[in-house]
Amino acid sequence: MSENKVKSSENIAMLENRLGISRRSFLQLCAAMAATMGLPPGADAAIAAAVASKKRPSVIWLHFQECTGCTESLLRAEHPTLEKLILDVISLDYHETLFAAAGHQVEAARRLAMKENKGKYLLVVEGAIPTKDKGIYCKIGGQTAIDMLKECAADAGAVVAIGSCSSWGGMPSTGPNPTGSSSAGEVLGKVIPNIPGCPPNPYNFLSTVVHFLTFGKLPEVDHLGRPKFAYSRLIHENCERRAHFDAGRFAMEFGDVGHRKGYCLYKLGCKGPETYANCPAILFGDVGNASWPVGTGHPCIGCTEKGIGFTKPIHALADLKNVTPPLGFPRIVEEQGSGATIASVAVVAGAAGAAVGAAAAMAHNLGKVTVPPPENPGKSEAKKEPERAEP
């Protein structure tokens, strides 16, 4: 075994003791993260080596206009749990909600972390930034949110916006937006990696951090700055109710028969057909199957999409991105008719004054066959009585 492999094996063994998990569980976690991010074969080994051996990245986490739901979501992560994350995977050097200290001590810790990890720390921004009246509507330690964000971002190795509020303004930016709430990217004047959601799934954030730790850069993003591994497909494509949509089975009201049977929620305003996220694939809270809004019977509100979540009314129908249902659908169980009888055909034909038509219909129903055309159309042949089919 090479020296590097021996060293890596020793580091993983040490990590087993620190994290309190088996080697197999740790390697399975790394493989799952690699698969989630769509990384090539071998990336799981690189992730394992990086987490086991590299210095924990310093993380500075800012809070602005938000409900702390993004942090609350992270608190409920199980792979790894929060204490293992902040003590063994990353070094959380500033977080207003999770810090025991307060006031000047906290601000001193932030500035020290920025100085000691200049150009290397990961800056996480939670919440929208008010820009009206020079940003006076959100201040921390006497410093406006605008000034604090710009100061922290100047020497950061990477900046990540977590949650819809930080990604595109979210609920605080909903009209009339009296404080001029804006996204972190808008304030910084550039596209930064966004992990939108209200709240976002914590594993999308954890995978992004692990990618940064392993490869020294953030994962590939789309034109809105969202990591492609998490936001490249419509919710509608992976929804467990999609089959009902294709079959035309919709819940029309909350609590009706269709709603209780798990039919599609499109007509109740589900925004899944126009929202990009992986919610139905990785779920929430590690509590089992169907642990996401649509799975529990509520329409998706499109919280990962700017101009949809907190903007478009919940009851409004989604703009379908990839398929448009027809105006009418067959019923779940179609009634089967008995077909027309000879008598009914004759009555209808007689009422219409078409005796010839009735005769033709009766002949067809009785199994009468037609005479094949002559082989030589130019020559006349004697007409033959058509043979009656066997009953």
Residues contributing to the annotated binding site for [3Fe-4S] cluster: 279, 300, 303
Of 47, 51, 36, nearest to 227 by C-alpha is 36
Rounded to 5°, the CA angle 162-70-239 comes to: 85
- Nearby residues of 21 by Cβ (< 8 Å), 6 or more positions away: 29, 80
Give the tokens for residue 302. 């499109």
* Number of C-beta neighbours around residue 370 at 10 A: 8
DSSP string, 52-64: HHSPPPEEEEEE-
Q: Is 316 exposed, middle or buried (0-12, 13-18, 19+ CB in 10 A)?
A: exposed
Question: With contact defined as beta carbons under 8 Å apart, do 218 and 210 qualify?
Answer: no
What is d(CA 211, CA 305) in angstroms, rounded to the nearest whole number?
24
Give the tokens for residue 77. 């992560």
What is the four-CA torsion angle of 71, 91, 209, 30, rounded to 10 degrees? -110
What is d(CA 285, CA 339) in angstroms, rounded to the nearest whole number?
55
CA end-to-end span of the chain: 85
Residues contributing to the annotated binding site for [4Fe-4S] cluster: 67, 70, 165, 198, 236, 239, 264, 270
Q: Is 89 exposed, middle or buried (0-12, 13-18, 19+ CB in 10 A)?
A: buried
Residues contributing to the annotated binding site: 67, 70, 165, 198, 236, 239, 264, 270, 279, 300, 303
Q: Are strands 129-130 and 122-126 parallel, antiparallel or unpaired?
A: unpaired
